[in-house]
Structure 1
Amino acid sequence: MTLNAVELEIARNRLESIAEEVGTALIRTAYSPNIKDRRDCSAGIYGPDGELISQAEHIPLHLGLMPTLIRTTLAEYGAQRLRPGDVLLTNNPYLGGSHLPDMCVITPVFQEDRIVAVIANMAHHVDVGGQTPGSMSTRSTEIFQEGIRIPPLKLFARGELQEELLQLLLMNIRTRDKTRGDLMAQVAANRLGTRRVQELLEEWGVAGFHTACHALVDYAERRTRSAIRELPDGRGSFTDHLEHTGVHPEQLPIAATVTVRGDEIEVDFSDTCDQVPGAVNCSRAVATACVAYVLKSLSDPSLPSNAGLTHPIKVITRPGSLVHAVFPAPVAHGNIQTSQRIVDTLFGAFETFTQGLVPAASSGSMSMLTIGGMDPSSGEYYSYVETYGGGQGAFPDQAGASATHTHMTNTRNTPCEVIEREYPLLVESYRILPDTGGDGRHRGGNGLERTLRLRSGSAIVTVGTERVSSGPWGLHGGEPGTPAGVQHHGTEGVRDLESMSRVELRAGEAISIRTAGGGGYGASISGS
């Protein structure tokens, strides 16, 4: 049985709408501002073996790595051990996750005694333990310092919450109420997705459901191969650098060789530096997610996002490298910093053998800031977590956007009113920084600045950004963007901090972060 074009489009929209509904339910029922306001979460539908069928338009990093995590989790736990009502939980980066705060909840959908689909969502929790509030330490040198690591475990067994497991997790987490609420929101969202898939099974039957899923994957592969054939054949190499390990400043090369041949693409990261004793390492799944993102953005952004998208892609990494970290490497900032630099590197490689396709470099970091401690007014721990947008790199035909999330991130900002309601913080300033985008025929977008002042108590601040020592690069005569910066406003004055820093705030002190402007494209008219 095959699907005609109309049936294929109906199936695609039905399944994508379920993934979107799962994400919407999670956002609307979550407890923490990081999920309900910033929407730092993603959702998708998978086959019984973990093959991606459809996903919501959430965060490219999550969406790109979740297929690896779902597949390896089902294989490690054993899908044959799962029963109706079971729910798996994991955050293990070495199985294909990102970092420990990103907890993935996986719910198998059964028809009688057989798994016919899997619903999964991933959400960034505001704390999972570790040496700093927010669990995003820049100073960690091994994974144990970053929080509690969860192997694939049953959070629910045959529909019953495993209370002892949950209490063990919450005992190691500062914000236990927020974490419990967010976890239960993840579980409830998956239950909604399960009901929707079961409604499809009643309408289509199991055979019809599987036919639709296979047809969608085949369709995505055909579309992707066609899009790759439109790219020029060629081979290009490029190296870009991170500027900080998390422990100390150091130039860390990320190297990629991209080969386009016919309807296939190969990306080789073998020459990337070794993993480091700092938090910027990332899993291989993160690197694979970046490749899929770049292919889709450069070839055809309308390509369906399912397993068929990655079938024509071959990714080569070296275990033990910065982009294929192995135990016990810390990884907290691998997706925050390194994924963005991987994208820059891939764009640079494509630029060597294409024309008018690649944009200039964007701000180059998700620019994460966490502030956490004990709120004197309530006696409870709080954890403010946020990533900040920056300048988008200019395009061959238009300027870059300002103060926006780019590439592997796609979250919203936390409203100033929410910050001041939820935490003992005052938003002293929040603005777009004028003239920070690189000049050119088309200018790069501007970065932003936010200053937060601690109203009471004391707090630990962890800040991680990039492109501080040099701004994002421009292309074809375009100027680089203005570099990023971090400042501590203390009792002894204002001092500049390193791009990845940890500092203690006392009441009345403030922290400010400035994100980089995007690179410009083409020589400006005034300079030509």
Structure 2
Amino acid sequence: MTKHDPVTFDIIQNALEAIADEMFVAQRKASMSAIIYEVLDLSSSILDPVGDIAAAGAGIPAFIGVLDKAVKGILKKFPLETVKPGDLYASNDPYYGGVTHLNDMVLAAPVFAEGKLVAWVANIAHWNDVGGNVPGSMSSDATEIFQEGVRIPAVKLFDQGVANQAVFDILYVNTRLPDFLKGDLWAGIAGLRIGERRVLELIEKYGAETYLAAVVDYMDLGEKRVLAALKQLPAGTYDYSEEQDDGAVHKLRLVISPEKFTVDLRGNPAQSGSKNSSREGSEIALQLAFKNFTDPEGPGNGGCFRPLEVITEPGTIFHVVEPGALGYYSEVEIRLFDMTLRALAHHFGGVVPAGNFASICGTVMGGKHPDTGRHYTIVEPQIGGWGGWEGHDGNSGQFSGFHGETFNCPAEIAEARYGMYVDQVALNSEPGGEGQWRGGKGIEVHYRVRGDNNFLSLGYTRSRIPPWGAAGGLDGSLNYVELVRTDGRRERYSFATNVVVNTNDVIRIVTANGGGYGDPALRTPEMVAQDIKNGYLTVERAREVYGPLADGAHSA
């Protein structure tokens, strides 16, 4: 076998990361929907010939973990020998490699060089509407996937470079927002084409053999780093269970050895409604927690997940079986991600911060635009407070670690594009999360409706059981939406579908403050005083939590 230069390997490996990022930027810039170009609800990856992640671009970590499973789903339907240059595949169906829910469209294309398949390029993005029984295609009332929108079960959009117009037509007609869907679809195709071009340029420079060897080396590096981290952990079996908002108890068993990290999810509640995750989606949630705990700085490729084993039970919320609905899969996965971190915090003290707001807080609003008369739909995940940890207050107004480095939609964009006013964007002033190191603050956003017969749908967890405090810190606050009617009535929601909202009704979105870390009595008077000054803490709450510290802080 040819001996390869490690410096060349390093150049190729870093180039792959840069290419994946360029794919991400190309798709973002060309997209029509603010959920993609502002919120960055997308991800991109380069994969090896059999569908393992070689390099991941920017975007939502939970999405990056979709793309290897999606490509393997494509290859299950289309054997490797049938894949040809110029093919391009689409899948949004969780039962055919789509993994998440029908709003998330995966696009993937093979890359051929020197007469052989050398890579796949793939991306995924959230589309605002793909049909189904409600605008936005996410319903907490859904009981079957058929109610959630059009299913694209790993099909060819392009066959050896020739567009399959029938599939395009099916997509365009099964949405309330055809112009936006068309723009977002072609933006995804553009991202794949730039990725393919850059990979071919890399292979032209270094050759296919060297390129493929560099990919194998990169994955081996990911595995070596994680195994080194596992060897530092005490081997054993660790059980944990946690009550959820609806009273159900979720549980897991961790079995840790120097060679393997096993998560057993058997014995969890039966699948129910639209709050289910695919087996692959549950694996992604555990991949993220596993990587955060073992090697957060290492490469995020297929190699680093080789020591992770996930055991599920079909027919449960963590392994839905057809035709179960998955519209709010994200709330199931983020609960699993958070519970895994909490289990690790319980068994390995001082390693994991206190609990964060830990919900996607998916909010869907829309109706007839008062200025244009056209249908509009806002799809907004929300930001919230992170937990405090040793030596640091929690971060305020951030997406969860599960959601990654994404952004909230600016008020100016929301008002310009959608039929609502944004009356307020502020940090959550509610109590909760106090400690030696306080939890970060959630947010309070007020949307004011500009027309009649608009709609509101949402799915929030941590609406009854708050983010957990650690090492003596206090629990945080809750996620919820309060609808303030023009006659003064107030309605509080955590899950709801198609609630009618009318002119000047205010949709008040509140996300949780993270949990506190450490005994509140150990917080310094200066820090308590600063919290009061910043509006994070009232004098009354300071006296309740901090006692004599509060009086000193207030007088200061």
Q: Normalising to structure 1: TM-score of the pair?
A: 0.95
Counterpart in the other structure of 1:454: 449
Q: For residue 157 of structure 2, give the secondary structure of its aligned residue in structure 1.
A: strand
Change in Cα spacing, 1:73 to 1:27, as seen in structure 2 (3 Å) is same
More off after superposition, 78-87 vs 310-319: 78-87
Give the letter for the 2:520 counterpart.
Answer: S
The answer for the alignment partner of 1:500 in structure 2 is: 495
Give 1:223's aligned residue.
225
**Correspondence for 2:184:** 182
The residue aligned with 1:315 is 310
- Say which SS state the counterpart of residue 392 (structure 1) adopts: coil
In structure 1, the partner of 2:424 is 429
Once residues 113 and 505 of structure 1 are traced to their aligned partners in structure 2, the CA distance between those partners, rounded to angstroms, is 58
Identity %: 33
Residue number in structure 1 paired with 2:459: 464
Distance 1:315 1:3 in 2: 35
Retained in 2: the 8 A contact 1:258–1:350? no
**1:295 corresponds to which residue?**
290
Residue number in structure 1 paired with 2:481: 486
Cα distance in 2 for partners of 1:494, 1:43 equals 45
* Structure 2 alignment gaps of length 5 or more: 523-545, 548-556
Kept in 1, the 8 Å contact 2:129–2:135? The answer is yes
Aligned partner of 1:386 in structure 2 is 380
Spell out, residue by residue over 1:229-256, the C-alpha distance to the aligned partner (whole angstroms, 9 max, x if none). 122323211112432xxxxxx3232211
- Please report how far the alpha carbon of residue 434 of structure 1 lies from its aligned counterpart in structure 2 after TM superposition: 2.9
Task: Judge which range, 74-83 or 38-47, deviates more.
Answer: 74-83
Q: In the alignment, is residue 21 of structure 1 matched against residue 25 of structure 2?
A: no
For 2:80 and 2:19, locate their aligned partners in 1 and report how far apart those are by CA, in whole Å: 23
Q: Helix, strand or coil: the match of 2:59?
A: coil
Match of 2:540 in 1: none
Question: In the TM superposition, what is the alpha-carbon distance from 1:524 to its structure 2 partner?
Answer: 1.3
- SS of equivalent residue, structure 1 residue 251: coil
Deviation at 1:482, TM superposition (A): 1.1
Is 1:151 aligned to residue 153 of structure 2? Answer: yes
Is 1:255 equivalent to 2:256 in the alignment? Answer: no
- In structure 2, relative to structure 1, the CA distance for the partners of 1:8 and 1:355 (3 Å cut) is farther
Q: Return closer, same or farther for 1:506/1:440 CA change in 2, 3 Å cut-off.
A: same
Residues 324-380 of structure 1 show CA distances to partners (whole Å, capped at 9, x for unaligned) of 111111111111x11221122112222343121122111020111111223243332
**Deviation readout 1:421-459 (Å, 9 max, x if unpaired):** 111110011111135451111111111011111112421
Q: 1:142 aligns with which of 141, 144, 149?
A: 144
Aligned match of 1:92 = 93
User: What SS is found at the alignment partner of 1:22?
Assistant: helix
Q: Match of 2:56? A: 55
3-state DSSP of counterpart to 2:493: coil
Distance 1:399 1:298 in 2: 20
Report how far residue 113 of structure 1 moved.
4.6
Q: Structure 1 457/158 Cα, relative in aligned 2: closer, same or farther at 3 Å?
A: farther
Contact 1:22/1:189 (8 A) holds in 2:
yes
Q: Indicate conservation of the 8 Å contact 2:355/2:387, yes or no.
A: yes
CA distance in 2, matches of 1:498, 1:91: 29
The 5-angstrom pairing of residues 113-132 of structure 1 reads 113-132=115-134
Partners of 1:468 and 1:383 in 2: CA distance: 24
**Structure 1 range deviating more: 403-412 or 36-45:** 403-412
1:20-419 equivalent positions in 2, closer than 5 A: 20-96=21-97, 97-111=99-113, 113-243=115-245, 250-276=246-272, 278-335=273-330, 337-410=331-404, 411-419=406-414
Answer yes or no: is the 8 Å Cα contact 1:33–1:414 preserved in 2: yes
Task: Describe the shift of the 1:95–1:399 C-alpha distance in structure 2 as closer, same or farther (beyond 3 A).
Answer: farther
| Equivalent residue letter for 1:512 | R
* Distance 1:208-1:112 versus aligned 2 partners, 3 A rule: closer
Counterpart of 1:246 in structure 2 is none
1:4 is displaced (CA, Å) by 5.1
The alignment's TM-score, normalised by the length of structure 2, stands at 0.90
Superimposed CA distance per residue, residues 38-83 of structure 1 (whole angstroms, 9 cap, x where no aligned partner): 1110000011111110101321110123211221222223333222
| Structure 1 counterpart of 2:537 | none
Between the aligned partners of 2:233 and 2:359, the Cα distance in structure 1 is 28
Preserved CA contact (<8 Å) 2:355 2:468: yes
CA distance in structure 1 between the partners assigned to 2:7 and 2:248 by the alignment: 49
Aligned CA distance change for structure 1 residues 331 and 407 (closer, same or farther; 3 Å) = same
State the Cα deviation string for residues 129-151 of structure 1 (Å, max 9, x = none): 11111111111111111111111
Question: Tell me, what secondary structure is at the counterpart of 1:122?
Answer: strand
User: In angstroms, what is the RMSD of aligned CA positions?
Assistant: 1.7
Structure with the larger RCO, 1 or 2 (CA within 8 Å, 6+ apart): 1
Instruction: Tell me the secondary structure at the aligned position of residue 349 of structure 1.
Output: helix
Paired positions, count: 520
- Cα distance in 2 for partners of 1:350, 1:91 equals 33
Distance 2:370 2:412 in 1: 20
Aligned letter for 2:214?
A
CA contact under 8 A between 2:368 and 2:451: conserved in structure 1?
Answer: no
Shifted more, 180-189 versus 72-81: the winner is 72-81
- Cα gap change, 1:479/1:49 in structure 2, threshold over 3 Å: closer, same or farther? same
**Residues 1:524 and 2:525 aligned together:** no
Give the match's secondary structure for 1:297: helix
Displacement of 1:512? 1.4
Q: Which region of structure 1 is more displaced relative to structure 2, 167-176 or 371-380?
A: 371-380
Decide whether the 8 Å contact of 1:237 with 1:352 is kept in 2.
Answer: no
